[in-house]
Amino acid sequence: MRRTDRQLSEADAWRILERGAYGVLSTVSPDGAPYGVPLSYCLVGGAIYVHCATVGRKLDHLGGEARVSFCVVGDTEVLPDQFGTLYESCVAEGMAAEAYAAEKQAALEGFVAKYSAGFEDEGRRYIDALRGETRVFRIDVVALSGKARRT
């Protein structure tokens, strides 16, 4: 990291990851083409979980290369008079693997808890209705770094 004065502790990077509303999953295709896609996510047991449909570009990439990068941008504020920005972000490097059965259920319930708190019963019914149309992937974090300019 070039600006070590803006480097965050791993604990601070985890806090950004925990609070984030969305992240960008970056993958690589079998022929080496990069692909970044913004999506919702949740954390369960120290792993990042993402979900998707049963077919698509993201799945094509994950089927060929398990190594991924996941970026979350937290609070930001543009400072036009200073030609700068206040920001916080984290980048996780990890390995993606599909989640099945109880792990898949726990992850989907994690999404409900994060994005639809107070609607847990409705969320479980929603999960049950769409379980076959949804795939879930766990990202085991291998490395996590964070950076911020807060003043």
pLDDT value, residue 2: 72
Task: Work out the angle between the directed axes of helices 101-115 and 120-130 (0-180°, nearest 10).
Answer: 140
What are 87-136's pLDDT values in tens digits?
999 999 999 999 999 999 999 999 999 999 999 999 999 999 998 999 99
What are 19-46's pLDDT values in tens digits?
999 999 999 998 899 999 999 999 999 9
Q: Where along the chain do its domains lie?
A: 4-149
pLDDT value, residue 1: 64
| Three-class secondary structure of residue 15 per DSSP | helix
Q: Is the pLDDT of residue 144 over 90?
A: yes
CATH number of 4-149: 2.30.110.10
pLDDT value, residue 47: 98
